[in-house]
Structure 1
């Protein structure tokens, strides 16, 4: 199930899964803010404002709890949720790139090559590994060989007890292209460059008109964060010198920073009022 909301009336509809929205909210306004466990009422209020039905919201909270992303406690008849230590680690790992002034830039012209094999007994982890590879900026160059711009942290990809032993099956190298290598052709083989551009253009089309709005800062900040995370997952930071003129990554970055800095104070204030009102219902 997905939520469809726009930052402005003229923007193209975008689809965001409820879990994406909650990760955005938790990473932007809850992580390391010192909040006590938050009641399901607050989560459901936020999701309702984002167009997510109550049943879908409750199912999302339950699913994230089963996955070990949220810890659930009860206070009388009220369920309360907090980030699990694992989810906190995941969000802290993402934070430097989310907040980076140049999240799509890698210095030095270096590349990371990675080859790994997945034992048949661990095939259940394939999707999780690929999700981590995507977040780390890797694209598939050919079967079993992945490439990422810059110096990717390979150890972080295989970190965690669930991936124990897999790092030993991976071989990674930091490298430079041989003179004469057609790097633009390589980029188009490993990534859908036009799809990446389209994702930037959709982000710009959605959030540029947001400058004219002055309502619902908490909702808009949550949507902004979800769209930004999606863009970071889509664009690994391909070198600008090998991309078409007018590549939109710098414009997307500037717009995100502007909108976040504008919305965050009011969103924080709105969340504080929601939490105070909820505490008064105990």
Structure 2
């Protein structure tokens, strides 16, 4: 797991429920659980500050980083994509379509668009034409504005009028077999652990590490799984089972993981007082 992703996970799962703020000392201590050294931790926090995710302030004898408006917005959007599934919602047969033209010299803009489109559940029908079975055109507009992305992008709504053609479009835009295999591996790894979670086998630092690893594994899926309506999915879609396993494991680990997080924050405060 990359240090940047770990910091974001610490804020997304713990710090956001503690006023969105955490001391540098506590973050350094928590990141050490994942073999991230102090220097790397501090550099990562500084980068997130430059990127607008975090801001810093002094509190008593310690430095703290807290979520900015952008940080809160990104975490809220991420939580929606990771924790919510819309596949069982009624579908009206409408597709959101994005067609963009980005010059070759603006590769970073093109990469940003592709990554954001994947995150929002779009799939590539062609090199510069992407489809989504949900109405997320406004979300893309907002994300482009927030990131200062200027590009020629056409936002359209489309309909084939045929469920058979819709299913063919889904097969062309996404490799659902590969997604299903990834879900199978996730279920095979974590479903047997649910009993251990229920028995409280994981406690203290182990609970927090396991919690973060579970989240890290699962939050990759919004980039590859478009959360398609059930009309477009194969029968007995394994993604439904995987989501249930994730939610159950997340909630079972959340209490002991949060308890360890709070204890580490308290310990970091004592260390800062002793060093002053």
Measured against the shorter chain, the TM-score band is: 0.7 to 0.9
Aligned mates of 2:46, 2:103 — CA distance in 1: 31
Higher deviation after alignment, 237-246 or 18-27:
237-246
1:196 to 158, 179, 182: 179
Q: Which residue of 2 aligns with 1:89?
A: 73
Higher helix share: 2
TM-score, structure 2 length as denominator? Answer: 0.82
| TM-score (structure 1 length as normaliser) | 0.80
CA distance in 2, matches of 1:103, 1:242: 12
Other-structure match for 1:186: 169
Please say if residues 70 and 84 of structure 1, whose CA atoms lie closer than 8 Å, have aligned partners that are also in contact: yes
Specify which of 234, 238, 257 is matched with residue 247 of structure 2.
257
For residues 193-272 of structure 1, the aligned pairs below 5 Å read 193-211=176-194, 212-213=196-197, 214-215=201-202, 216-272=206-262
- 1:10 is matched with none
Q: Which runs of 5+ in 2 are unaligned?
A: none
Kindly indicate whether the alpha-carbon contact (under 8 Å) linking 1:110 and 1:175 is maintained by their aligned counterparts in 2: yes
How big is the shift at 1:277? 1.5
Contact 2:184 2:238 in 1 (8 A): yes
User: Does the Cα contact within 8 Å between 2:166 and 2:232 map onto a contact in 1?
Assistant: yes
Partner residue in 2 for 1:4: none
2:62 counterpart of 1:72: no
Residue deviations 1:25-63 (CA, integer Å, cap 9, x gap): 21121225325x422332222222124344443443233
Say if 1:104 and 1:237, in contact at 8 Å, map to a contact too.
yes
Mapped partners of 2:14, 2:220: distance in 1: 18
Contact 1:199-1:234 within 8 A present in 2 as well: no
